[in-house]
Structure 1
């Protein structure tokens, strides 16, 4: 999801100008839905407060769902990851930048980043490109605009931020962020398959290099989910880098299944005991052997679980990321200066959709998704997943 300040020019003068570019239903593997993750543009109705989803104002399509990637990302359909960013750069004019990934790195590796024109009936996609030799798991989850003054001072003019968090810490044990510039000096797109330079701004240690919880986000858990990011600025000059997601906050977290009889108790996948630590306490220590068992009654949805999740914003000081960009500190050293809990503002799956997959109550996963930022008006848009049946709801926050 991304905000277009020039979108919906004929919309009502209601204080919420512009539009949102969004993606449709994810692709599904094995030919079940090979043409998912199409792109559409929707209007932004006036936000309202209600405890009843059906009372909310509804967005309307300005451009219907379309396949815009010219089949360059074919085959990336196993739990796809797609990020969008509208950016009107003087060098290129208005473009929608896209990052496209999936759950596992393809073999051979696939280029992950591109751009297309906002006119979805004639998108003229350029790319895709690689970002150096960076891990697929660290760069294909979210995109953000980096303020040009900051980018020129600290990141060689690279004004697009990209990153991802991959559960299990495969991307690094916390959100990652890199800066890149996807155009040449004359504003033209690089040739497809090019490897673009990138500046690291945030990258915690990945779990494929250690079995310990070290050089990580404070309070890190393997089931964490960081799905969206935005570089916030205000007219008085304040700024912060925000990551949005669903944080594992329970006393225990484990790789395996939801325990249907006692969801707060671990239910590990016994096949992986001994291959890696399948169960940990919140402090990162391994669970006792008595807890590393596969329960008799569990769901079929294997993955990382925590005994509790919370929807959260993480806020980082851009000055810390500047120190990383300048080589003064390591990419794993910055920590959030604030954490905001969002659950009191969410609907939290009122229809009980797919609870075996999502979890329920304290163990509800996948609470929020992508974010988009209207910098001029200071409005942050955030997707709440599975809020209207299987469909999302967009929340808005005023940034001050």
Structure 2
């Protein structure tokens, strides 16, 4: 791995060094109101509270270090309480295992005193299942996305689609697949390649494209997949690629290629045979920082209004590559540049860091994405029109270096029929590092 990093530095060191030395101060993006009635606004988000994930003992996985992938299933938990929150959630458990389980959705509770123990707990409906047949155990810092999608015909009710990858993607690998909603059935298909795209822009978040937008702009392209790769390897912002997924009954074999793909967001340009994108200072998302972490998303709709939303941990203040105590590590590729000693624990994790962090949702105008789909705009032209700060709703909202906690949010899921949004807060200490699910109503 060190040799591969050194090769990257030799090829791209000066560009990265210029970015590092600039040490830009990234201010909070403005939360300006929008006058476009076709857009969902931050004022439309109503907080409904939160609930805990189940306390499971034993088994193949658990809810600690969990929640980097999640989707809503409208047909789940048919015998559940009539409390206004029908259906269920499929959520990925512990990061090291990447196993999926189905849980119920209890009525959320608002804890003004930030006491986790007053929150209701979800119940396990299907146990943890490794739908990837052990693939995740071979990955270094794996990441995953899942989304339930109704079938395009009446033959079945729908299936779970997924994407899978890892922190470093030097070697080209397939990323996407499909699985039936009964986790115990051995009906998984994949993984497949998405034609022409690096894994650095594909294999983290995954969500449904509303049928009305798809039919108007990209008929049959019903899923949006993407990733934000810290640093610059996936571009100067989060990526989003629309693709036409197969149904489970006619899913292609493993290692096949899905050719019907269309970029909606790329803050850089793909390079043939190279994993990372080519970047340019003019192709940058507003308020971009190398240490951002956009970890989930959903395409929100509310009557005649909509927004493509990404959530994550936003870097605030100065950004640097090195260690969390402010020590900068050289990445210019110059062998004569002095290398600092690795700091003592808890500041010994090397990577991109910032002075502070916030939990945020950023909203994009779907009409801007339509302009990209139609070829009227470049993939780097759409910009977020509003930012929603979610920090005040969290139980923990800062770096916790002693626990090696640096990210605040995980995945998102959306109940389109009722306009209910679910957002994962990662690793709550008082709940034994389990994740908590926050609930919002889009009014």
Q: Same fold (TM over 0.5)?
A: yes
Looking at structure 1, the residues matched to 76 and 250 of structure 2 have their Cα atoms a distance apart, in angstroms, of 24
How far does the alpha carbon of each residue in 1:212-254 deviate from its partner, in whole angstroms, 9 at most, with x for none? 643111011000000001000012x10000000011121x100
Aligned equivalent of 2:85, options 16, 22, 29: 16
Tell me if structure 2 keeps the 8 A contact 1:42–1:60: yes
Is 1:135–2:198 an aligned residue pair? yes
Looking at structure 1, the residues matched to 280 and 366 of structure 2 have their Cα atoms a distance apart, in angstroms, of 28
Aligned equivalent of 2:144, options 82, 88, 93: 82
Which residue does 1:395 correspond to in 2? Answer: 438
Tell me if structure 1 keeps the 8 A contact 2:142–2:165: yes
How far does the alpha carbon of each residue in 1:316-351 deviate from its partner, in whole angstroms, 9 at most, with x for none? 00000000000001000000110011111111169x
After the TM superposition, which of the residue ranges 222-231 and 117-126 deviates more from structure 2? 117-126
Which residue does 2:293 correspond to in 1? Answer: 225
Which residue does 1:373 correspond to in 2? Answer: 414
How far does the alpha carbon of each residue in 1:58-94 deviate from its partner, in whole angstroms, 9 at most, with x for none? 01100010112234x3564200011000111233631
Give secondary structure in 1 for the equivalent of 2:122. coil
Give secondary structure in 1 for the equivalent of 2:200. helix
TM-score by length of 1: 0.84
Which residue does 1:256 correspond to in 2? Answer: 322
Aligned equivalent of 1:189, options 245, 251, 258: 251
Unaligned segments of structure 2, at least 5 residues:
1-69, 271-275
Which residue does 1:384 correspond to in 2? Answer: 425
Aligned equivalent of 2:100, options 39, 42, 45: 39
Instruction: Give how far 1:274 is off.
Output: 4.9
TM-score by length of 2: 0.76
Which residue does 2:327 correspond to in 1? Answer: 267
Give secondary structure in 2 for the equivalent of 1:167. coil
Give secondary structure in 2 for the equivalent of 1:54. helix
Tell me if structure 1 keeps the 8 A contact 2:309–2:361: yes
Looking at structure 2, the residues matched to 167 and 342 of structure 1 have their Cα atoms a distance apart, in angstroms, of 21
Which residue does 1:357 correspond to in 2? Answer: 404
Instruction: Give how far 1:193 is off.
Output: 1.6
Which residue does 1:95 correspond to in 2? Answer: 159
Instruction: Give how far 1:199 is off.
Output: 0.9
Looking at structure 1, the residues matched to 148 and 179 of structure 2 have their Cα atoms a distance apart, in angstroms, of 10
Tell me if structure 2 keeps the 8 A contact 1:171–1:206: no
Which residue does 2:243 correspond to in 1? Answer: 180
Tell me if structure 2 keeps the 8 A contact 1:76–1:101: no
Give secondary structure in 1 for the equivalent of 2:289. coil
Label 1:325 to 1:211 Cα distance change in 2 as closer, same or farther (>3 A): closer
Tell me if structure 2 keeps the 8 A contact 1:268–1:294: no
Structure number with the bigger relative contact order (C-alpha 8 A, sep ≥ 6) is: 2
Give secondary structure in 2 for the equivalent of 1:241. strand
Tell me the matched-pair count.
360
Instruction: Give how far 1:372 is off.
Output: 0.4
Aligned equivalent of 1:214, options 270, 282, 290: 282
Looking at structure 2, the residues matched to 210 and 116 of structure 1 have their Cα atoms a distance apart, in angstroms, of 34
Alignment RMSD (CA, Å): 2.5
Instruction: Give how far 1:190 is off.
Output: 2.1
Looking at structure 2, the residues matched to 112 and 399 of structure 1 have their Cα atoms a distance apart, in angstroms, of 31
Looking at structure 2, the residues matched to 190 and 106 of structure 1 have their Cα atoms a distance apart, in angstroms, of 25
How far does the alpha carbon of each residue in 1:248-293 deviate from its partner, in whole angstroms, 9 at most, with x for none? 121x10011011xxxxxx31114x24569x9xxxxxxxxxx9xx97
Aligned equivalent of 1:241, options 302, 308, 319: 308
Looking at structure 2, the residues matched to 177 and 128 of structure 1 have their Cα atoms a distance apart, in angstroms, of 19
Looking at structure 2, the residues matched to 330 and 275 of structure 1 have their Cα atoms a distance apart, in angstroms, of 35
Tell me if structure 2 keeps the 8 A contact 1:141–1:164: yes
Give secondary structure in 1 for the equivalent of 2:141. coil
Is 1:145–2:208 an aligned residue pair? yes
